[in-house]
Structure 1
Amino acid sequence: MIHSFPCGDPALDFVGTWQARRNESPAEKLGTPAGLDAWFVESTLAPDGTSPTAEDLAAAIELREAIYALVLARLERHDLPEDDMTTVNTYAAHPPLLRVLHRDGRSKEGTSAAALSEIARGAIELVGGSEAGLLRECARPECTQVYIDRSRGQRREWCSMKTCGSRVKVAAYRSRLKAANG
C-alpha cells in the first residue's frame, strides 16, 4: 500500500497526499498518474482504477490544493477563499462515479474526473457541514495532516496513533530517559 488513510474522511486523506507540506522536504504521494490511480484504488473510491492521464494528475493536484485552502480557512476560522470554493464547486459539478449493481455485488465505474467529482462533493459536505468544527491538524510538528476529531471529549492530538502518536510518545520517552541519565 502506497497511501495512508488516517483522517476519517476521503477528502482529508486526499489532501494528505502532499505530506509534511510546511517542512523543508514535503513528500508528494501522487507524483505520477499511477500514484493517483493507486490512491483511487487503495481508498476504494474507484476499486478498479480509472487509468488517469497527466492532465488528470494536474487536475487532482489543483483540486487537492483548493480543498486544503478551504480546510485551512476552517481551521483558522477565516472566510473561505472564493477562488478555491469555485475550484471545488467546478469539480463537484462533473458527473460522479457510476454505481453498478451486479448479481454478486456492486461496483463503481468511471473516469478520473468522476472520481475527483466524488472527492469534491465530499469536501463540500465536510467544509460546509456540521463536522467542520471537528477539523484538527496533527500535533506532531513534522506532520500537517488534517483529520476529523470524533473522539469522545474531542481531545485527539494526532492524525494516527500508529504513526504520529507513537513517534511523539517514543520521542518523549527517550527525552525523559536522557534527562534522567543526565
Structure 2
Amino acid sequence: MDFTFVSGNAALDLAGTVLSRRDDPVDLLAAPVDLERWVAACEELPDRVTADEATFESALSLREAIYRLALDRLLGRRFDPGSLDVVNDTAAGPVCAIRLSDAGLHRSGDLRAALSQLARSGIAVLADPRASLKECGRPDCTRVYLDRSRGARRTWCGMEECGNRVKAAAYRARRRGAA
C-alpha cells in the first residue's frame, strides 16, 4: 500500500498511518519493513533506515503519543502527561545530519534520529498557537491535518482520497433526491 502525506506535517502524517481509528482501524505499519518504507517515502527524513523490533515499537509509541496530543489540542484539553513524556524523550534523541549539494538537501541518520526529527516536528506544530489543526471531515477518516488553506476552510485531509469521496457521496445524494 502506498503512503499518503497530506497532513502538512510529518509527525501528523505518522499519526495518520492508522486509518479509520473509530470503527475498523487499519494499521499501515504492521511490521518493521513497513516503517522503513514509510520513512523512505517521507521527504523530511533520511532515505534509508533499518528498523529492529525495539525501534519499531518506539515508532508506534511515538505515533500514538502524537495522535493523542493532537486530539488533546483539537478538543482544547490539557496534554496527556504520558504522551508528552514519549514525545519529549524521543525529541531529545540524536538528530539527522543534513548536507547541501547541487542535487539539493540530503538527510542521513538512523531510525532513532528519524524518530527524533518526527517528535521535534510534532512539538513544533502542537506548540504553535496559530497552527490550525483539524480532523478530516469525512466520517470514517480520523486523520489530523494542518490547515494552511486561505481562511482555514479546508474540511478534509486530502482531495485525492477523502475530498473526492465526500464530493461523490454528496453528488449521489443530490441525484437520489432529484429522482
TM-score range, shorter chain: over 0.9
Moved more, 145-154 or 42-51: 42-51
Report the alpha carbon displacement of residue 110 of structure 1 after superposing the two structures with TM: 1.3
- Measured in 2, the distance between the counterparts of 1:89 and 1:10 equals 16
Which position in structure 2 is the counterpart of 1:56? 55
Which position in structure 1 is the counterpart of 2:114? 115
**Percent identical:** 41
Matches within 5 A, 1:66-105: 66-101=65-100, 105=104
- Measured in 1, the distance between the counterparts of 2:168 and 2:76 equals 32
1:177 to 168, 175, 178: 175
Which position in structure 2 is the counterpart of 1:19? 19
Closer, same or farther: CA 149–106 of 1 in aligned 2, 3 Å: closer
Which position in structure 2 is the counterpart of 1:42? 41
- Measured in 2, the distance between the counterparts of 1:51 and 1:71 equals 27
TM-score (norm 2): 0.94
- Measured in 2, the distance between the counterparts of 1:27 and 1:95 equals 30
How many aligned positions are there? 179
- Measured in 1, the distance between the counterparts of 2:25 and 2:53 equals 21
Structure 1 gaps of 5+ residues are: none
TM-score (norm 1): 0.92
Closer, same or farther: CA 171–103 of 1 in aligned 2, 3 Å: closer
Report the alpha carbon displacement of residue 102 of structure 1 after superposing the two structures with TM: 5.3
Which position in structure 2 is the counterpart of 1:151? 149
Structure 2 gaps of 5+ residues are: none
What RMSD, in angstroms, separates the aligned Cα atoms of the two structures? 1.5
**Contact 1:46-1:115 at 8 Å conserved across structures:** yes
**Contact 1:99-1:107 at 8 Å conserved across structures:** yes
- Measured in 2, the distance between the counterparts of 1:157 and 1:100 equals 37
Q: 1:45-90 deviations in whole A, cap 9, x for unaligned? A: 3343111112111110000001111110000000011111111000
> Counterpart of 1:126 in 2: which secondary structure?
helix
Report the alpha carbon displacement of residue 107 of structure 1 after superposing the two structures with TM: 2.2
